[in-house]
Structure 1
Amino acid sequence: MRIEDFIHQFSLSEADPEAPVTTKRREYEALHALRRPADPAGMRVSDERLAAVKVRRFQPARCRSGVVVYLHGGGWYLGSVDSHHGITADLAERLQREVVSVDYRLLPEASYAEALADCRAVVETTAPVAVIGDSAGGRLAIDVAHGGEWQGLLGLIYPVVGTPTAETLGEDAPLLSRADVLSLWRMAAPHVPAIPGGHPPRPAIEALAVERDPLTRPLEAAVEAWRHAGALVGYRCAPGMVHSALHGHAELAPMQIAWQDFCQAIARRLEDA
């Protein structure tokens, strides 16, 4: 698949920007349901509650010890264990470990603090060997790592780091503009922990970015600062790819390569630990 075709298929630009959030969520879920691949052979999937939080558990046919918690993206107001099912099932298969995907509460019905509390509750209950998050979920993963006693590997996929501003963000890109980021940040910011972006959230971090994304520039600045502070940070950037391209990792060659490298790096770190 060409990246231009992916952008066309995943663009929500035709949706009414004034549409109710329930309509936007329905369209978002339908968009991802159309492309959800079949689960890997032998994968066991179950929905339940952990610490009163909805989760979906993915257990591959061959499952090693050590749980991985996944926090989905969606701007803190979209997304679910359903929209990211294909990603989390593939992650579990690649790592050969159980992945617990967290269906945290969404804005605006809940606050960022409540979404973060859901994520922390699941992490505290499962004591995972790794916490991985993409986009808005990447920021939740950072704040989980900063604010609790959890010790493990942190995986970040085009996350929101630091305090996004017009000065720190990169250029506009398809599927995510600077205005989008700033608007979503204003919605979440009152309840986001005030932690400097240059302070490493964990000593061991693996990060994945895409070339065409306003969030890549601040992430790269953070990676440099984290390394300077002594953290061991692995980093890769998928050339030509855009925000949300992780959903096309099976069809977009550059994203497939970067995703495979990210997962292999996570697996090596967990084995070494």
Structure 2
Amino acid sequence: MHIEQFICEFSRSDDGADDSLDARRRAYERLHARRRPADPADMRIHDEILAGVGVRRFRPARCHAGDVVYLHGGGWNLGSVDSHHGITANLAERLQREVISVDYRLLPEASYAEALADCRAVVESLAPGAVIGDSAGGRLAIDVAHTSEWKGLLGLIYPVVGAPTRENLGDDAPLLSRADILSLWRMAAPGAPDVPANLPPVPNIEALSAERDPLTRPLERAVDAWRRAGASVGYRCAPDMVHAALHGHAELPAMRIAWQDFCQAIARRLEDEA
């Protein structure tokens, strides 16, 4: 698949003129349900309640010890363990570890602080080897690390870093504009912890970005600051890719290569810590 075809597919709305949040949630879930690949053979998948929060567990047939927690994206008001099922199943298969995807509460029905509390409750109950989050989930992962005693490996996929402004974001790009980010941040900011963007959340971090994404510029600034502060940070940027391209990792060559490198780096770090 070419990136422009991916952009076109992800830009379509299934609900015509209905732009309500409920309609956008339905369209988001339908889009990802249509694109979801078959689960890997012999992978055990089940839903449960953990620390009072809904989660979905992905356990591959060959499984090393040590859990990984995944926090999905979706702008804090969209997304679920269903919409990111394909990504988390593939992550579990690549890492050969159990991955626990968190179905945290969404805004605006909940506050950002409540969504963060859900994620922190799961992480603190499991003490996983790694916490990985994409987009809005990447920001939740950063804030879990800053507000809890957990200090394992942090995996970040085009996260929201710091307090986004029109000046510190990169240029508008397909599927995500600066206006989109600022609108979502205004909704989340009242419940977000006030932590400097240049303060490393944990000592060990792996990060993945997309070249055509307004969030890449602040992430790269943070990566440089975290390294200067002494953190060990691995970083790769998928060329010509856009925000949400992780959902096309199986079809977009540049994203597939970057995702594979990211997963291999996570796996190596977890093996070194075992």
Whether TM exceeds 0.5 here: the answer is yes
Identity of aligned residues (%): 77
> Hey, what's the Cα distance between the residues in 2 that align with 1:183 and 1:17?
20
Shift in Å, 1:152: 0.6
Instruction: Give CA-to-partner distance per residue, 1:13-63, whole Å, 9 cap, x none.
Output: 686686221111000000100000001111000000001100000000001
Shift in Å, 1:12: 4.3
Consecutive aligned runs of 4 or more in structure 1 exceeding 6 Å deviation? none
What amino acid is the match of 2:119? Answer: C
Moved more, 16-25 or 108-117: 16-25
What RMSD over aligned residues (CA atoms) do the two structures have, in Å? Answer: 1.1
Q: How does 1:58-207 map to 2 (within 5 A)?
A: 58-207=58-207
Match of 2:24 in 1: 24
Which runs of 5 or more structure 2 residues have no equivalent in the other structure?
none
Match of 1:211 in 2: 211
Shift in Å, 1:122: 0.3
| 1:44 and 2:48 are equivalent in the alignment | no
Which runs of 5 or more structure 1 residues have no equivalent in the other structure?
none
Question: Normalized against structure 1, the TM-score is what?
Answer: 0.98
Equivalent residue pairs, number: 273
Instruction: Give CA-to-partner distance per residue, 1:60-114, whole Å, 9 cap, x none.
Output: 0001100000000000000000000000000000000000000000000000000
> Hey, what's the Cα distance between the residues in 2 that align with 1:155 and 1:57?
18
What amino acid is the match of 1:63? Answer: C
Question: Normalized against structure 2, the TM-score is what?
Answer: 0.98
What amino acid is the match of 1:172? Answer: D
Match of 2:229 in 1: 229
> Hey, what's the Cα distance between the residues in 1 that align with 2:14 and 2:250?
25
> Hey, what's the Cα distance between the residues in 2 that align with 1:47 and 1:153?
24
> Hey, what's the Cα distance between the residues in 2 that align with 1:92 and 1:158?
19
> Hey, what's the Cα distance between the residues in 2 that align with 1:210 and 1:202?
22
What amino acid is the match of 1:238? Answer: A
What amino acid is the match of 1:208? Answer: L
Shift in Å, 1:230: 0.3
